[in-house]
Amino acid sequence: MSSCYDINVSSSNKNLNVGKKLKALIVDDDRVVRMVHKGLLKKFGVETHEAKNGQEAVLAHRAGACFDLILMDLDMPVMNGRQATQELRDMDVVSLIVGVTSTGEAEKESFVNAGLDYYYQKPLTVDVVRLLVEKFKDDA
């Protein structure tokens, strides 16, 4: 898995030596969820950016933005997570895209089939975020 940016920084978490600054995009229409996920990612030294819907995420990539990790909500106005994920994959975006939703299993299959790498129920926990961040450490 390649990183968009290879900036050497020390992690704010002493137990995790990532060796590079990871960039994450949090895509969710709920401000509180964005704040929670931002706080969790920052515990591991991840630089965070936010989008309020899938269209904002797609437009950011079209404008040249690049992220290592994208946390993608399913149900959002303007463009939902399934549509945004499919469009990002069609644009050859190779970021790790993680579906994060409060909807049940019925929606999971079509969301995963749009191009997700992983799928988790909201809210994310410290342990889940640690696992995601460590995937980059293992691939470094």
- Which tokens is 31 given? 């401000």
1 secondary structure, DSSP code: -
Is residue 8, in this structure, part of any structural domain at all?
no
Give mean pLDDT, residues 94-114. Answer: 83
Domain with 35 in it: 23-135
Is residue 140, in this structure, part of any structural domain at all?
no
CATH code (residue 131): 3.40.50.2300
pLDDT for residue 138: 62
pLDDT for residue 136: 79
Per-residue model confidence as pLDDT tens digits over 8-27: 233 333 334 344 689 999 99
Reported confidence tier of residue 102, pLDDT bands at 50, 70, 90: confident
How many domains is the chain partitioned into structurally? Answer: 1
Per-residue model confidence as pLDDT tens digits over 26-80: 999 999 999 999 999 999 999 999 999 999 999 999 999 999 999 999 989 999 9
Strand order of the β-sheet with 23-27 is 47-51, 23-27, 69-72, 96-101, 118-121
pLDDT for residue 109: 79
- Which tokens is 23 given? 């960039």
